[in-house]
Amino acid sequence: MKNFGYVKAFSSSEAVHLLDGATATKFIGGGTNLVDLMRENIERPDQLIDVTSLRDREIQETNDGRITIGAAVSNSAVAANDLIRRRFPLLSQAILFGASGQIRNMATVGGNLMQRTRCYYFYDEASRCNKRTKDAGCDAVHGFNRMHAILGCSPSCIATHPSDMCVALSALDATVEIEGRHRQRSIPFTDFHRLAGDTPQIETELQEGELITSVTIPSLEAAQNSVYRKVRDRSSYAFALVSIAAALEIRNGTITTARLALGGVAHKPWRAFAAERILEGSPAIDEVFRRAADATLEGAQGFEHNAFKIELARRLIVSTMSELAQKGGLS
Amino acid sequence: MTQHESGKIDNRTTITLIVNGSQREVELEPRVSLLDALRERLQLTGTKKGCDQGACGACTVLVDGERILSCLALAVQYQGRQITTIEGLANDGSLSALQSAFVTYDGFQCGYCTSGQICSAVGMMREFDSGLPSAVTQDVTAGSGGLSSEEIKERMSGNLCRCGAYVGICEAIRQTHEAGFAR
């Protein structure tokens, strides 16, 4: 690993003002992804600004029922939080389905949003990767692509976003709160991560010099009947082949609210808006769930080793909806 | 060796780490991992380097009572925190209850992953006792119930054992927790 300067910030405004624009600088949280990428020479910052001590916000409930989670709060602390477990059980579950106990203790919420793909070709300096080097080509498209994307693919990059937590936050219509040197702003979670397009190196809407300060989740009654499911190659401590975060509210047999997002299928957490439009206002029956699944997978593209994900995602949607319909129909 | 007033560290510097209750001064660059600081600078070689990329759990230590991976941790980020390694778990030279249980229930063969397994299990039992659910907990809104074998396997999945001593490891943890020795 090349050497670098290190400085610790104690407030978000101090952190953004430490950036001078000239030095290649990265913010570091738990370091569970960044340190690994630096060791592999994929990330080569000249300076790190430690933002793990910006704990001023923690997890708070606002008067209008929204919940704000500080960016430096650990993944474990979010999963363990009583408010989160009671109000958004799918978020607590999603986090617990990711990584390992040790990594969840280190990893921060902000860092989880900023983690980079686990595509093997991105990690391997000897491979061609458009994300690492502009216009270098992509060795995943014709390589071993079992873990790769099936939705929103681009010829330049078929990497997936590896987070579980972000799939739940996408389904929950969260917003990302951001601070820059001159302004603060919010970005809807579903817009925060980008599809690869022809600029796979640009993964989020975060601009140079901006820092994530918190994530806000609006109140959602439907989250009382919600679940996170994950299909993977081993039963624990593995990235998703396909995962789903879903919430369903049913009144008198009719779906009044549906929230659905998929993980492991695209360059970003994939919010299934088309499925939600079909589900809401329809009866909670398998035929409707199948139509919602078909609408989600319309336009899906399989590669040599991952075409199975299309049918897998379809079945995961239908079975998860059925499960939630049974639970929600009884309450 | 420069440490500015703002706390900025440019190069090689001396930091203070609190390891197993003792303040230890160590001279290092910001790129040195906590794992290398412990092993190479402080000669605490009980903590092992397996994959050095956060995949195996051999380097697990406790920080303020929470288990972390020291290979993915930069030592400079852990100044002032209470770091506990395997060397700090024994009481006055006699093995802790969990360490003894690993001997009794054959929780290891080659022993390379053992210090990580034990530190991880100490942190895991504490997490469990505080009510943290896991991916196999049926209802995350409720408490975490009993520490079943299924719960132990899920919660310890970040620690690999290439000898395959998992049955003994799980049994050592289960017996220790059941007997009420969280540490």
Q: Mean pLDDT over residues B152-161, rounded?
A: 98
Q: Give the ipTM.
A: 0.96
Q: Residue A175 — very low, low, confident or very high, per pLDDT cuts 50/70/90?
A: very high
Instruction: Assess contact for A172 and A136: CB atoms under 8 A.
Output: no
B66 touching A (Cβ < 8 Å): yes
B32 touching A (Cβ < 8 Å): no
**In the predicted structure, residue B91 carries a pLDDT above the cut 90:** no
Cα–Cα nearest to B125, from B64, B180, B86, B68:
B180
* Burial profile B19-58: b = 16 or more Cβ within 10 angstroms, e = fewer: bbeeebebebbbbbbbbbbbbebbebebbbbbebebbbbb
Instruction: Assess contact for A165 and A75: CB atoms under 8 A.
Output: yes
Given this structure, which CATH class describes domain A222-330?
A: alpha beta
User: How far is the CA of B18 from the CAs of B34, B37, B39, B64, B78, in angstroms?
Assistant: 12, 12, 14, 10, 9
- Contact flag A39-B53 (C-beta cutoff 8 Å): yes
Instruction: Assess contact for A25 and A45: CB atoms under 8 A.
Output: yes
Taking the CB of residue A45, how many other CB atoms lie within 10 A of it? 18
pTM of the model: 0.96
| Phi, psi angle pair for A200, to nearest 5° | -65, -15
pLDDT (tens digit per residue) in B108-133: 999 999 999 999 999 999 999 999 99
Distance CA A306, CA A146 (A): 4
Give the closest of B30, B66, B77 to A105, CB-based. B66
**In the predicted structure, residue A56 carries a pLDDT above the cut 80:** no
Cα–Cα nearest to A109, from A62, A164, A160:
A164
Taking the CB of residue A179, how many other CB atoms lie within 10 A of it? 21
Cα–Cα nearest to B147, from B163, B125, B166, B165:
B125
Which of A1, A3, A4, A6 has the most B C-beta neighbours within 10 Å, making it the best mutation to test the interface with B?
A: A6
Q: CATH 3.30.390.50 in chain A, residues?
A: 222-330
**In the predicted structure, residue A259 carries a pLDDT above the cut 60:** yes
E-strand stretches of chain B: 13-19, 22-28, 60-63, 66-69, 82-84
Given this structure, which CATH class describes domain B97-178?
A: mainly alpha
Distance CA A321, CA A327 (A): 10
Q: Mean pLDDT over residues A198-202, rounded?
A: 97
Give the closest of B9, B57, B67 to A105, CB-based. B67
**In the predicted structure, residue A116 carries a pLDDT above the cut 90:** yes
Q: Residue B142 — very low, low, confident or very high, per pLDDT cuts 50/70/90?
A: confident
Q: Mean pLDDT over residues A33-61, rounded?
A: 92
Q: How far is A296 from chain B (nearest CA, A)?
A: 26
Q: How many interface pairs between A and B have CB atoms less than 8 angstroms apart?
A: 115
Q: How far apart are the first and last CA of chain A?
A: 55
Instruction: Assess contact for A8 and A53: CB atoms under 8 A.
Output: yes
- Contact flag B72-A38 (C-beta cutoff 8 Å): no
Task: Give the CATH architecture of domain B13-85.
Answer: Roll (3.10)
Q: How far is B172 from chain A (nearest CA, A)?
A: 19
Assigned fold of A5-52:
3.30.43
- Contact flag B10-A105 (C-beta cutoff 8 Å): no
Q: How far is B159 from chain A (nearest CA, A)?
A: 9
- Contact flag B141-A89 (C-beta cutoff 8 Å): yes
Question: H or E element: which one contains A260?
Answer: strand A254-263
Give the closest of B73, B127, B130 to A101, CB-based. B127
Burial class (CB in 10 A: 0-12, 13-18, 19+), A219: middle
A60 Cβ contact list (under 8 Å, min separation 6): A67, A68
Q: Residue A54 — very low, low, confident or very high, per pLDDT cuts 50/70/90?
A: confident
Give the closest of A5, A86, A102 to B57, CB-based. A102
Alpha helix (H) ranges present in chain A?
12-17, 34-39, 75-80, 82-87, 89-96, 101-106, 109-114, 120-123, 165-171, 189-192, 273-279, 286-297, 308-330
B56 touching A (Cβ < 8 Å): no
B158 touching A (Cβ < 8 Å): yes
B53 contacts in chain A (CB < 8 Å) = 36, 39
Give the closest of B68, B127, B154 to A106, CB-based. B68
- Contact flag A48-B30 (C-beta cutoff 8 Å): yes
Question: H or E element: which one contains B168?
Answer: helix B166-178
- Contact flag A105-B155 (C-beta cutoff 8 Å): no
Q: What is the pLDDT of residue A57?
A: 67
In this structure, what token pair is assigned to residue A316? Answer: 């995961």
- What does the CA dihedral A308, A311, A316, A322 come to, rounded to 10 degrees? -160
Distance CA A213, CA A70 (A): 6
- Contact flag A28-B77 (C-beta cutoff 8 Å): yes
Q: What is the largest CA-CA distance in chain A?
A: 63
Q: CATH 3.30.43 in chain A, residues?
A: 5-52
Plot region of A176 (φ>0 → left; ψ -120 to 50 → alpha; else → beta)? beta
Q: Mean pLDDT over residues A318-323, rounded?
A: 98
Residue ranges per domain, chain B? 13-85, 97-178
- Contact flag A76-B157 (C-beta cutoff 8 Å): no
pLDDT (tens digit per residue) in B22-46: 999 999 999 999 999 999 999 999 9
User: How far is the CA of A40 from the CAs of A2, A48, A131, B39, B74, in angstroms?
Assistant: 10, 16, 15, 21, 15
Taking the CB of residue A217, how many other CB atoms lie within 10 A of it? 23
User: Which residue carries 């001159």 as its tokens?
Assistant: A182
Taking the CB of residue B100, how many other CB atoms lie within 10 A of it? 16
B37 Cβ contact list (under 8 Å, min separation 6): B17, B26, B28, B75
